Structure formats: structure tokens, C-alpha cells
Chains A and B, each alone.
Chain A
Amino acid sequence: MASDIDLDNEMSVTSRQIILMLSSCDKDYIIDIPTILINNADRIDFNELVNTAFEAGLGYSLLALIDVANKLEHSDAFFKVLSQQYPSNIEGNVIEDNIFPVHKFRQLIKRSFLERIEERWNVRIAFTFDDFYKVYRDYHLLPVHGEGLRKYFGDIIEI
């Protein structure tokens, strides 16, 4: 459960924490995952992470989110794990928030902008690409590249 996530130790991230976030069906956690993967790409053992996810029945959901992370910012670590897993795509899964089951999402939003990733991993995702991008922009792009971006855009940013 999401409540098992070690909130007193938020500066570190473990495979278990990521899997707990993914299994929580809580938008506030799920939306963060691609950016957390990007911010920690050099520290995460992706083999361990993917194995843990498959043991929890969440393997393809995790791969879809790694794919989203790779779409936000290409990384060799993401590409490697996606390439290794891609041919064995056989099962399906759903990534959704408690308040946004996929069927409701399809009915209300009518588009997801993530169709190719959904097809690739046979996973249905109840979020838009913009939902993930907003977190990536705020919690990776600005903190990590803030000074560089400022040189080009000054203080004006898109919010």
C-alpha cells in the first residue's frame, strides 16, 4: 500500500518504493514515477526494479512508465531495459488512479496521447502525456536545468 512508503526518508528511492507507488492506484504517486526514474536513472538497478515489478504483477505497467520517462528524456538506461523486455510482451495491465479508471478516462478525456506506448506494452493508461510532462518540467527540467533555461528564457516560464 502507498501508506507503506517511507515518507520519513524521501531523499532516497528504492525499487520497493517505486513498486509501492505504482501499486497504490493513487494519481499523486503514479504521475511522479517517470520523473523519479529520470532523476535517479544513474542510481537505479533496472534489472532488480523490473524483476520486482514482474513479481508484483506490475511488470508491463512499469515498462510503460519507463517508456514514458524515455519519451520525456531519452536515456540509454531506459532504452536498454525497454529493448530487453519488448519482445516478450504478452500480458496486459492498467495504470489508473482511483478516481480515474480507464473506462471513465476514455469517456471523459477521449484521448490519451500515449497510444503507441499503450500498444507496445499492452497497457492502458488513464493519464495524458501532459500530466506526466508537468511533473517532469517542474521537478526535473527546472531544478536541474533552471540556470541554463534562464539564460535563454530569462524569468519567463510556461506554467
Chain B
Amino acid sequence: MILLRFRTWESVKQELGVICGNLKDEPRIITVGGTALLYHGLKKSTRDLDFVFTTQGECYWFAEALSAQGFEVRKSANVWRFIDLKRNLYIDISYGTVGDVALTQSMFARLIEEQINGFSIWIVSLTDLFIMKACHSVTTSETDAIGDALRIVERVDMDEVEEELEYQSETVREKVEMFRKEFIQI
């Protein structure tokens, strides 16, 4: 069997449409990771869907909807991973932060809204995706994340990145600086 992949934003919307149909409340669903890159046209496909929520409560509502659809949950320190074992479909959800990167008010102001079956889905901006991917690259050295960050950096305004870093922790600022030194100045 070849591994399931989402290759278009439309296919992500279809999957989200089904999940939203099982939601009993209206969490603010924020799309991050490869899913957001697919939306921005900077990734050809993604294997798993990644969402983050502002609060634990909203994350729980979404988790309930996934469980109602038969997804099995595996929890780690950073994310809850929901798996549809029949389709090899993975959905990672978390709240409050994406790795080291905090969800800030300035980040919310840059979110892009998409409507799916009456639900608002919010996509994180390229500026914030760059910060998330740069931090992840430094933490893991995965070529996957490094490649993503290198693709994004060509399309972001570094002044906006600098502004956002003012609101982030020292760790995030250090990691983004490390990424820039290590990977951008080739």
C-alpha cells in the first residue's frame, strides 16, 4: 500500500468538513505545519494534518469530534495524535504553543480565514510558519523541516519576523537566529 497523502487544499477541506460535522462546539481551528504550507502552495503534499488551538478546552472539543469518528488517540508531551488506522490518516492537535513558539495576539492578527461548511478555519501566516519551522529545524535537524523553512524564507518579510520575535521567548529568538546563521547564509 502506498502511504496516504493530502495533495490539495481542497482534499484537506473535505476531511475537515467531515470532522466539523461532528463538532458540538465551535473551537478556533488554527492550521499549522505541512497543512498550512499546502494552503500557501509551498508544499506538494502532506501526510498528516496539524491543528493548534488557543485553549485546552477547544482542543478537547476537537478531540471529541475525532474520537466520535473512530480515530484512536496517542498522546505525547507536545501533541495529541489521532489516527485513523484504516486509512493511515494522522491528525496532530495541540494547544497554546507549536513546539517552542507561543500563539500570540500579533500572530492571531495575521491569521487567514477560510470557510468550511459554515465553520471558520484559520491558517497561520508564512511569517509565523517560518518561525515555527526554523525552530523545529534547529531542534531536530530534519531535512523535511529545513527544506520547508528554506522555501518559506524566500516569501517572508524579515522585518515582520523580527517584530514577531519580540513577543516570543528567548529560546525562540535564539533558535531562529541559529537557523539564519546555519542555513540561510550559504
What residues of A have a CB within 8 angstroms of the CB of B13 in the complex? none
Taking the closest CB of chain A, its distance from the CB of B92, in whole angstroms, is 7
What residues of A have a CB within 8 angstroms of the CB of B73 in the complex? 155
A107/B186 in contact, CB under 8 A? yes
Q: Interface size on B (CB < 8 Å)?
A: 37
Taking the closest CB of chain B, its distance from the CB of A113, in whole angstroms, is 10
CB-CB under 8 A for A143 and B83, given A10-B4, A135-B3, A157-B75: yes
**A36 to B47 CA separation, bound complex (whole angstroms):** 14
Is A73 in the interface zone, CB < 8 Å from B? no
B143/A36 in contact, CB under 8 A? no
Choice from B5, B74, B88, B182 contacting A157 with Cβ under 8 Å: B74
What residues of B have a CB within 8 angstroms of the CB of A12 in the complex? 1-2
What residues of B have a CB within 8 angstroms of the CB of A32 in the complex? 2-3
Taking the closest CB of chain B, its distance from the CB of A127, in whole angstroms, is 5
B144/A27 in contact, CB under 8 A? yes
Is A90 in the interface zone, CB < 8 Å from B? no
Number of A-B contacts (CB under 8 A): 95
Is B90 in the interface zone, CB < 8 Å from A? yes
B3/A108 in contact, CB under 8 A? no
B143/A105 in contact, CB under 8 A? yes
What residues of A have a CB within 8 angstroms of the CB of B4 in the complex? 10
Choice from B3, B146, B186 contacting A35 with Cβ under 8 Å: B3
**A1 to B143 CA separation, bound complex (whole angstroms):** 22
B147/A27 in contact, CB under 8 A? yes
24 contacts between A and B (CB under 8 A): A27-B143, A27-B147, A28-B43, A31-B144, A35-B3, A40-B1, A100-B146, A100-B147, A104-B186, A128-B141, A128-B143, A130-B140, A134-B144, A138-B90, A139-B47, A142-B83, A143-B83, A146-B83, A146-B85, A155-B74, A156-B77, A157-B75, A159-B79, A159-B92
